[in-house]
Amino acid sequence: MPGRICIIGVGLIGGSFARALKAANACREIVGAGRNEAQLVRAQELGVIDAYALDVAEAARGADVVVLAVPVGSTEGVVRQLAPVLGPNTILTDVGSTKASVVAAVERALGTLPPRFVPGHPIAGTEKSGVEASFAELFQQRRVILTPLSHTDPEATATVRRLWELAGAEVVEMDVQHHDEVLAATSHLPHLLAFALVDTLARMEERREIFRFAAGGFRDFTRVASSDPQMWHDICLANRDALLDLLATYQADLDRLAAAVREGRGEVLLETFRRAKAARDRFTESG
């Protein structure tokens, strides 16, 4: 297992990964990096990391594994800074919610895709952000998707897989394009819809009364609208093609439901609701 791990971006995901690795005694030292020194100081105070540096190259120098836990839109710039210290044996991985954009960003930054680059994405999180929100159990019984490329070193993939397993996750592999299509449907579209609904209601004149009477269902549906806006801005733009395809399908279904309400076609509504309930029940039962 690696001796030194560098985590760039010690927030909810990066911080939780660091905590989980420490709890599992998975490495000798964890070094953090980022732009917010107060957050890094706090991370060190909390025992999430052992040391930190504001300069990402300095933080990553000598690391066996470098983990990019930054917004996907920042990937290229960060990897350009890392380039001088990424040795032939350094494993580079990430936690980004889109994979095609991250792969392309790494290739632009380095001029090639190193064989020890292992793209990854933990399917875990909360609507909170920052190192204070991190906790070691975040990845317990959650899935992590790795999307190794055709030339990715199997040993590097095995090392990254083992680290996530030590953090408590179930690791699966799929190709980059399939990952982005699946996540557009299961994560990116729901976040976009939640942000849009809350924004629509907030701009209505009677918004105070609307939110005053919002109950648990509204909170559940819109919980993810409390997520980091910059992160989701980056994700939506990075996965725009898959997201636009899904939005077109969803818009057509909304138009169909609007027509059913307008025309009083209750059978269409009931069929849709029953079908959705059955699908949702199967999902929750399978866990």
Domain segments of the chain: what residues?
4-174, 178-286
* Total-model pTM: 0.88
3: left (phi over 0), alpha (psi -120 to 50) or beta: alpha
The pLDDT assigned to 152 comes to 98
Q: In the chain, what percentage of residues exceed pLDDT 70?
A: 98
What is the Cα–Cα distance from 9 to 126, expressed in whole angstroms?
16
Whether 182 has a pLDDT exceeding 70, the answer reads yes
Q: Are 225 and 194 in contact (CB under 8 A)?
A: yes
Task: Name, in order, each residue with C-beta under 8 angstroms of 131's C-beta and a sequence gap of 6 or more.
Answer: 10, 11, 12, 15, 39, 42, 43, 46, 48
Q: What is the pLDDT of residues 135-181, one digit of tens each?
A: 999 999 999 999 999 999 999 999 999 999 999 999 999 999 999 99
Q: Are 96 and 35 in contact (CB under 8 A)?
A: no
Do the domains spanning 4-174 and 178-286 agree at the CATH topology level? Answer: no
Q: Which CATH superfamily is domain 178-286 in?
A: 6-phosphogluconate dehydrogenase C-terminal like domain (1.10.3660.10)
Whether 92 has a pLDDT exceeding 70, the answer reads yes
The pLDDT assigned to 209 comes to 77
Q: In the chain, what percentage of residues exceed pLDDT 90?
A: 86
Instruction: Name the more confident of 127 and 221.
Output: 221
What is the Cα–Cα distance from 78 to 109, expressed in whole angstroms?
9
The pLDDT assigned to 207 comes to 65
CA terminus-to-terminus distance, the chain: 31
Q: With bands split at pLDDT 50, 70 and 90, how would you rate the model's confidence at 287?
A: low
Q: With bands split at pLDDT 50, 70 and 90, how would you rate the model's confidence at 206?
A: low
What is the Cα–Cα distance from 93 to 21, expressed in whole angstroms?
15
In this prediction, residues 199-208 reach a mean pLDDT of 79
Q: What is the pLDDT of residues 229-239, one digit of tens each?
A: 988 999 999 99
Q: What is the pLDDT of residues 12-41, one digit of tens each?
A: 999 999 999 999 999 999 999 999 999 999
Is it true that domain 4-174 has CATH number 3.40.50.720?
yes
